[in-house]
Structure 1
Amino acid sequence: MKPIIGITTSSERKTEGTRTGTIRLDWNYAEAVERAGAAPILLPPNADPADVLPLVDGLLVPGGDDIDPHLWGERRHEKTSLIDPARFESDCAYVRQAPDGLPILGICYGCQLLNVVGGGTLHQHVPDVVGHGEHSGGTLQTYEVVAGTLLHRILGDSAEGRSYHHQAIRSVAEGFLVAARHEDGTIEAIESQRHPFRLGIQWHPERTLGSPTSDGLFRAFVEQAALYRAQKA
């Protein structure tokens, strides 16, 4: 049986707290998981992680809107567009309650979430730091992968991807390390030193399926999920 990857989802409601609305996930995330050999399932924000986590062999936290900067003691930047609170609270709960061995892949917002949950901070608006907006335009970029990291074992010295972010990691959470950077110094990937596979990628590998970087990332994620599944049996 294929490993099962739970993917967290966004919620859209006209009024907070109403019982009507939708949950949403970009198609490419589920396609990436399926192409890599796993079965994707969607995790709505109102699901209880305690009920769901025993059922999955990996957790994917996809992209989304911005994390509230009050969590690290700052006022909101004028460009900040906050993530749905229900999704943020749910995603935090999944990460905090996940077993140590459960593989977790965070993409864009998901990468930032891993950092903030661990006590790290973010730059609210990257153009204010690096002087350009190329990280939010989807331009194909090259990233330098740090030697000796899990990401380096997966991808080698460099990676390519498309970035669509205007927040970025400032201070790295305790227990994590930088796994990749852009040439302007922007942190583009982090990984946990305490878990076998807990990886945050700032770019969007689901947007470049078929590339060596994207296929390598998702294949490594699913392989680790298969190993975790076998260990549970």
Structure 2
Amino acid sequence: MSKSHGPLRVGVGGPVGSGKTALMDLLCKTMRERYDIAAITNDIYTKWDAEFLVRSGSLTPDRIAGVETGGCPHTAIREDASMNLAAVADMRAKFPGLDLVLIESGGDNLAATFSPELADLTIYVIDVAAGDKIPSKGGPGITRSDLLVINKIDLAPHVGASLEKMDTDARRMRGERPFVMTNLKKSEGLDRIVGFIEAKGGLKRAG
């Protein structure tokens, strides 16, 4: 385990459709041979994202939990994270050797953030299809996440988005905080995200 309080907990947030669940799936499949992993997803009234991960074979079903937040999903990762903290505790009880817990938020707006009590590191996912002005709009997800992922770069020419503008705005809004441009459909940029989690989270590869 990476820390005295237990496994490293990484929060994955971002707007609906940006690629959060795709990233969760890829991270699980890429890192599961090296680390002891569990995944927790948040949905308002369903467990659709958790069920997707199970169907995809991201991890064994007992390592995937779905939290039904009801009402506002942002509250469940920030002001009152008790349901998610309980889900983490359940996973730790089942798997005492956990190295990493990935926690996907429900659909977020740019103001949503993870409680420090819940997540040690935060990754915020936006996508090019939403427009190249998104990085310039700011908000905690853009400016304060530990890693910003700008996904679906392959769609830029189809939606008239400028990757150069997004790069410039992301640098301006984030200062020294890193960001990665990705096409998760083809796993482009995934290695940089994995490397960030390992380095920033202090994970040690098995063997």
TM-score (norm 1): 0.37
* Structure with the higher helix share, 1 or 2: 2
Higher strand proportion: 1
